[in-house]
Amino acid sequence: MAGKVSWGISIPQVFFDGPIDMPLIERWTKKAETLGFESLWTQEAITGAVPILEPVTLLSYLAAITEKVRLGTSVIVAPLRNPIQLAKSLGSLDHMSGGRLTVGLGLGGNLNDIPPFGFSGEKRVRRFTEIIEVMKALWTQSEAHFQGEFWQLDGLKMEPKPLQSPHPPIWLGARHVNALKRAVRHGDGWMGAGSSTTDSFLTAVDQTRMYLEEADRDPASFTISKRVYVAVDNDEDRAEARLKEWFGKRYGNADLGSQVSVWGSTQKITEELAKITQGGAEMVLINPAFDDMEHLDALMEEVIPNI
């Protein structure tokens, strides 16, 4: 892969065994920025038994305690949101961070998550694309006009516009072929899911590049990225066991940890991440499942410099 690879890392956000540790989040965030990670990323789970902070709120806090590192959502489940309120929140966050926001949006994987929010699970793809278009209209038009099936704007005003012009980069999380096409049509980037394997990511990269060419889009205007779950530990059996335990608690699927994660020595982690960058990832979002502070040092001192 030609060109420089950008390295992001997932913010400590899930605390299974106790209260949310805000002092840890603060120490970790400042250290990650000092070490040179280029972006910090949240996940989203609004409902459910897993204790996890809401992403826009968390990034608003991080915006106040960081200076240069970019802040991203990976991903906000857009069909659960009202686009007008979301546009206001994200536009405000872009100002609060000094124009450091990347907006990652996803369709969501479970239709049963939608009805409690007052929406139907039907036509969620159409609603998803309308949400993107509504936000773009509010962010770029002095008087927003949009006529869709779910939302109609007739000269609606929203100020201030985001600090970034024309708006914060929008990256879509996607895996299905149709979702990759949507990312090319509506987004500024695509992020391969952490629940996808390296081989499936490499296949999707080729497909995405084909869709970019078909759409006559400059590849330089579109970022290809991948979330990767990692566990640095010379004892591979212990690392895999801890990953399976974490995935069982977080996603209810312990075996997924072994299927999609990278674990073992720093040399092994380096080799596996290199496959992803050589295969086309321009930004890699590393997601340690545990030992957050320890992973910062190991990744930045022994892994990333060797890729």
User: pLDDT digit string (tens) for 159-174?
Assistant: 999 999 999 999 999 8
Nearest Cα neighbor of 128 from 195, 90, 76 is 76
199-to-8, 36, 98, 130, 272 alpha-carbon distances in Å? 21, 28, 37, 32, 11
Q: Residue 210 corresponds to which tokens in the numbers above?
A: 């084909």
pTM score, two decimals?
0.96
For residue 178, pLDDT over 70 is answered with yes
Cβ partners under 8 Å of residue 114, min gap 6: 79, 80, 108, 120, 121, 124
90-to-73, 115, 135, 141, 223 alpha-carbon distances in Å? 10, 24, 10, 16, 20
Burial of 255 (0-12, 13-18, 19+ CB in 10 A): exposed
- Residue 199: the pLDDT is 95
In the three-class reduction of DSSP (H, G, I as helix; E, B as strand; rest coil), residue 223 is classed as strand
Helices 177-186, 124-140: inter-axial angle, 10-degree rounding: 10
Contact 79, 44 (CB under 8 A): no
User: pLDDT digit string (tens) for 203-241?
Assistant: 999 999 999 999 999 999 999 999 999 999 999 999 999
Residue ranges and CATH numbers for the domains of the chain are 6-306 (3.20.20.30)
